[in-house]
Structures are given as C-alpha cells and as structure tokens.
Homo-oligomer: A and B are copies of this chain.
Amino acid sequence: MTQNVAEPRPGPTAGKPVTIAIDAMGGDKGPVPVIAGMARSAAKNPDLRFIVFGDKSRLESLISKRKPLSGRVDVRHAEGVVTMDAKPSQVMRNGKNTSMWAAVDAVRDREAAVCVSCGNTGALMAVSMLRLRKTEGVNRPAIACLWPSRNPNGFNVMLDVGADIRADAEDLLQYALMGTSYARVGLGLERPRIGLLNVGTEEHKGRAELKQAYDLIDAAADTARFDFVGYVEGGDIPSSRVDVVVTDGFTGNIALKTGEGTAKLISEALREAFRHSVLSRIAAVLALPSMRRLSKRIDPRRVNGGVFLGLNGTVVKSHGSADATGVSAAIKLAYQLGAAGFHERVKARVASMSHPMQDQGLIGQNNGFQ
C-alpha cells in the first residue's frame, strides 16, 4: 500500500473493499496471532474485509474482543485442521472439511480476492492446485518471496522458492514473466530487472537448462517489458543489480532458508555480543534505536508471505510461526495483490507469452498487457 504501481490499473483500485479469505487454524500457534494480525491490518486499512474459516465459536470469541474487526468479518465453521506435518496427498484426499480447503474455495468461488494461510506449504500448494487449477499456459506454479535488498524500495523478488523441485527452461521463462508482474504490483517497478540464478556470471558456466533459459528470457525481455541482466549469483540476491531472481524451486528454497538461517545466526551472535559485559550492556541500551532501525530493515516478519503464482486465483502463504506482525504483513500483501487485480494481470501476461518464439511478431505489437 505504500508503493504505487506506476502504470494505469485496469482492475479494481484502492478505495473499493477487498475481501481476503483467511485460514485461521493451520499455523503453529493456532488462531490467536491470526485474529490479532487481522485486527492490526483492519485498523490501518478501512477497505479490508475478511471471510475467516475455522472453529466458529473460538473464532467468534476472539474476534468479539477486537474492535477494528467489528462488522467486517464473516466467520465460517470448518471442522478439520491441516496439521504442519500432514502429507499433501492425504490432505488432497481427506481435507475437504478443513479450514485451509474452505479458504482456498472462497477464492475459487470468487467470494474472496486472495486467500491467506499460515498452514503447511506442501498441503496448501496441493489444495490450491487441486481447487484453483493452473492458469492456462503455466506448466509449474511457483512461490515468490520478497527478499531484503539494497534496492531503493528495500526488496527483491525471488521465485520459485519451493513450489516444485524441478524447472526446465520454459518453466524458468514463465517464472520470469510471472515475477515481472509481481514486481510491478508488489514493488511498483515499471520495468523490473530480471536475473537468472547460476553459479557464475560468465556465460559459459552452469547447467544446460540454464543456458536455454538464458536465451528464452533474453528473447522475451523487450516484448514483456523487463530488463534481463543475465546470470546472477547467490551473493546478488540481496543486491541492487536485480529486482527479480529466477530459479528452480529446489535451489530457491535452499537459498531462502540459508539466508534466513544466516540472518538468525547473526542476530543471535549480536545479542550475545551485547550481553557480554557491563559496558556492552550499557552500549546495548544506547544502541537500542539503531538496533530497532536495523531489525526493522531486515526483520523477516516484514516480508512475510510467499505468493503462489500461476494458479487461477491468488494464495499468500504466511510463515507457520508468524505472530500478529507477520500475519498482518501477509494480509497487507494479499490486499495489495487483490486491489491491483494481480491474478488477472499474471494470467494475461502468461497467455500473451505462452508461445514466445512463434508469436513474437504478433506479441511485439501488443504492448497493452500487464
């Protein structure tokens, strides 16, 4: 909501109510932080409406204590809960009565613009694929995340970070297209810079499918209105060289978790360093505002929310252990995507580019798609 999308928006814009479907039960901490996060978002944004799925009496009791939610929440009972260790295949077979399933169905039935869940990623992707189906022209859906970076807006986009463990050259091209749409809507970048993750920046390195993807993405850049910066390395993910980092879900997931793990190790070491002596404890008190500024910049809760791309509807996956701040960040992102008509944009883009090689002449004349 703080970033503006520079290009004219064809879909619904801010000011109109946007309804978000919430799976309130699937996270590690149950519904308490979910309702707290909803209240926080609702207090900031008068356009938000919610449909919340889960244990009705428990949810109603929690919601009744939160003034900003008054009159803006439709509570729907769902008996079942998808646990964090549930296998996706089991949930696909037996998950019809769960809050996760029902929340995804609210997007399928166009009751809600976007679904938000703190639940099990594998199960959420499986249910989303089953109920929403893949967008025409997409082979593999992807999960996109925001990553703290040196760019002026503070973030880069990376995808896929875990929807699938393989991606061929065509899939990587589709990730570049979907990532372009996401960077426009999520980061307000008119012409995002796309990079392809590899082990070296020289063109002779890397796996065969990456070389093919390099050529496909390079050829699509002008038509799809992004800049292709070529190969980028792990160290470039938080850099200002690139806005969107494209990779397969296996590599992206390892990179995401390695980055999170490194940040966590450093914060712990930082806390220990300040606890070391009387002098360092005094320093810690004086340094508190500086540390708050720092942690605000790199706090993973602020970038909470992986977005599922390539489905007929938008799903935001919040961290399983998200607190109210994290849930509120995921809802903010969901609102932003819903208000911008994000799903329709991605769909139009992928449809226009689904045969980039054959259709290039035709597509070259069509600059109106997102």
Q: Which residues of A contact B (CB under 8 A)?
A: 85, 87, 122, 148-150, 162, 165-166, 197, 199-200, 202, 204-207, 233-239, 247, 249-251, 253-266, 268-270, 272-274, 276-277, 279-280, 282-284, 286-287, 289-291, 293-294, 297-298
Contacts and interface: CB of A to CB of B under 8 A. Distances in A.
Nearest to A263: B262
A121 to B, nearest CB: 9
7 contacts: A87-B202, A165-B206, A237-B258, A250-B251, A251-B251, A270-B270, A284-B287
Given A277-B289, A283-B290, A286-B283, A199 B249 contact: yes
Given A87-B202, A236-B261, A262-B263, 20 more contacts: A162-B199, A165-B205, A197-B254, A199-B254, A233-B254, A234-B258, A234-B261, A235-B258, A259-B261, A263-B266, A265-B298, A266-B294, A273-B297, A274-B287, A274-B290, A276-B290, A280-B287, A283-B286, A283-B290, A286-B286
Contacts of A283: 283, 286-287, 290
B207 A165 contact: yes
Copies of this chain present in the complex amount to: 2
A200 B121 CA distance: 11
Contacts of A259: 234, 258-259, 261-262
B255 A235 contact: no
Given A254-B199, A287-B283, A290-B283, A298 B150 contact: no
A199 B165 contact: yes
Nearest to A285: B283
A207 B206 CA distance: 19
A84 to B, nearest CB: 11
Contact of A238 (B197, B237, B265, B280): B265
Contacts of A249: 199
Contacts of A266: 263, 266, 294, 298
A272 B237 CA distance: 20
Contacts of A165: 199, 205-207
B289 A269 contact: no
Contacts of A272: 294
Contacts of A260: 234-235
Nearest to A267: B266
B298 A269 contact: yes
Contact of A280 (B257, B290, B297): B290
A266 B147 CA distance: 13
